[in-house]
Structure 1
Amino acid sequence: MTFVRDTWLIFARQMQLLLRNPVWVLVGVFQPVMYLLLFAPLLKPALQVQTDAEAYRIFVPGLLVLLAIFGGLFQGFGLIAELRAGVIERSRVTPVSRIALLLGRSLRDMVSLIAQAVIITLLALVFDLRVFIGDLLLAFLMLALISLMTSAVSYGVALLVKSEDALAPLMNTVAQPVLLLSGILLPLTFAPGWLQGIADWNPFSWAVNGTRALFVGDLGDPAVWQGLLIMAVLAVAAIVWAARLFARSVR
């Protein structure tokens, strides 16, 4: 119960800070909105589908996964600022659980991501996107797991490098091949066989395929539970790893 209380206290505090300056939620969603408005209309002829709705059912899930990956991987910059300001150092004198210090922040990032995903989904409805609410909630669960995992990784790396100059190129170096090999912008069914074989080792490609299956209403597609399982395992592993680094940093 103490751990749950501590996590809630950290989460509530982080949410207060976010709500005081909610413009960052809108800033984070700006680039995906540009993709939605300026790139997605090109997909109907490119994908050779009959309607815009079909094109958006393929593109929007990938766009949401992109938002979850990038939104999580760059959360470490805020933690580096806290390290420099002595916030983490002062945490040593508090009785708050060390894991809660990490998990509360990651849950804040997850809530922010879901809010952005709702905005993107609502905008996509204007372009005839249709998805059942139950399938959409499962898709949001997939995004939440991705956000928890990527933000925990970002916090862990930030604790190791302790420098924005090192964190930025490192995260970009990791993010670019991961994104290109996950079929976010275009399905990898259009890719040559060797590229599809490499992509099978990318966990995010399973998440993208599962999210796309949910958006077309195919709840029975094995990619759905496979993607959820992979993301859940990776999220737990990332949180445990980052929490150990967090505990070591505030002893």
Structure 2
Amino acid sequence: MKLARDTWLIFQRQLLLMVRTPVWIAVGVLQPLCYLLLFAPLLRPVLAPAGGGYAAAYRIYVPGLLTALVIMGGLFTGFTLLGELRAGIIERSRVTPVSRVALLLGRALREVVALLVQAVLITLLALPFGLAVPLGPLLLAYLLLGLMALMAAAVSYGLALLVPTDAALAPVVNTIAQPVALLSGVLLPLSLAPRWLRAVAAWNPFSWAVQGMRALFAGHPGDPVVWRSLLLVAALTVLAVGWAARLFADRVR
């Protein structure tokens, strides 16, 4: 109970700070919006033989775009933690009876909420282009997206504690984020990729998540790939949060 209460207190504080500076959410939506408007229409010729058209193109592309937002946004949240460490915010929090794990979880959940807000905005902006998703599968897709965001944020916080400088953290995160995103099929379905690339992508959990997201956006919540991706991402999220929480408890004293 204490962990849940402390996490809620930290989350409330972090959420208040986010609400006071909403401009960065708008900035976070701007780049995905450019991809939504300028890149997704290029998928129509790819799907034309199947008679997909714009609606099918956005059902394929929007889940990948949301996953890319989680990967690129979530893995860079560690820089926020570094800023708080330098400003002494974490130092002042250490003298309180708040759980060290709650200090991490409260911040990670703030990132999850921010990314979900961006995901909802992008989904709404895609509706005029023909995107149509049943509410139930859409909510399940947001659940999967939230788990991915929590996992990415936890990994980013752990990396920030291991590599506690901006100059060193930036290339480490870039080295991880770019191949993970490319091997997830976020821009184009991996079914268009050569066999060797699909074999490599099969080891990427975000690739499974993208497949599950696309099945949900297509209105197929009973597809086995949905539940496999949910179980895989949930298990990896638990491991990532546990690893980051242990680092946080050990290094933030």
Say if 1:91 and 1:250, in contact at 8 Å, map to a contact too: no
Q: Aligned residue for 1:29?
A: 29
- Report the counterpart of residue 162 of structure 1 in structure 2: 164
| Separation (CA, whole Å) in 1 of partners of 2:42 and 2:250 | 49
Corresponding residue for 1:46? 46
1:156-205 deviation per Cα after TM superposition (whole angstroms, max 9, x unaligned): 11111111111111111101111111111111111111111111111110
**Structure 1 residue 53: Cα displacement:** 0.1
Match of 2:9 in 1: 9
Match for 1:56 among 58, 76, 81? Answer: 58
Deviates more, 1:143-152 or 1:90-99: 90-99
Matched residues in 2 for 1:55 and 1:165: separation? 39
Contact 1:72 1:109 in 2 (8 A): yes
1:127 Cα deviation after fit: 0.1
Aligned match of 1:20: 20
Counterpart pick for 2:215 among 209, 213, 216: 213
Cα deviations by residue, 1:13-55 (Å, 9 ceiling, x for unpaired): 0001101101111111111100000101111002334220011
One-letter amino acid of the counterpart of residue 217, structure 1: G
Letter in structure 1 aligned against 2:157: Y
C-alpha distance in 2, partners of 1:155/1:179? 19
Report runs of 4+ in structure 1 exceeding 2 Å deviation: 46-50
- 2:145 is aligned with what amino acid? L
How large is the RMSD of aligned CA atoms in angstroms?
A: 0.9
Mean CA deviation greater in 84-93 or 51-60: 84-93
TM-superposed deviation, 1:91: 2.1
2:236 to 229, 234, 237: 234
SS at match of 1:45: helix
1:203 paired residue among 200, 205, 210: 205
Give the deviation of 1:112 after TM superposition: 0.5
Q: Deviation per CA, 1:130-171: give whole Å up to 9, x if none.
A: 000000000000110000000011111111111111111111
Contact 1:75–1:151, Cα closer than 8 Å, also in 2 = yes
> Which letter maps to 1:96?
V
Alignment gaps of 5+ in structure 2? none
State the alpha-carbon separation in 2 of the partners of residues 95 and 244 from structure 1.
17
Q: Tell me how many residue pairs correspond in the alignment.
A: 251
Indicate conservation of the 8 Å contact 1:149/1:235, yes or no: yes
Identity %: 65
TM-score normalised by L of structure 2: 0.97
Question: What do residues 117-140 of structure 1 show as CA deviations (whole Å, max 9, x unaligned)?
Answer: 000000000101000000000000
In structure 2, distance between residues paired with 1:27 and 1:165:
23
Which runs of 5 or more structure 1 residues have no equivalent in the other structure? none
Deviates more, 1:12-21 or 1:240-249: 240-249
8 Å contact 1:114–1:143 — kept in the other structure? yes
1:59-138 pair list within 5 angstroms: 59-138=61-140
Q: Distance in 1 between matches of 2:252 and 2:163?
A: 16
Contact 2:101 2:249 in 1 (8 A): yes
Q: Specify the SS of the correspondent of 2:159.
A: helix
Q: Does 1:178 align with 2:180?
A: yes
Given that residues 47 and 56 in structure 2 are in contact (C-alpha distance below 8 angstroms), is that contact kept between their aligned partners in structure 1?
no
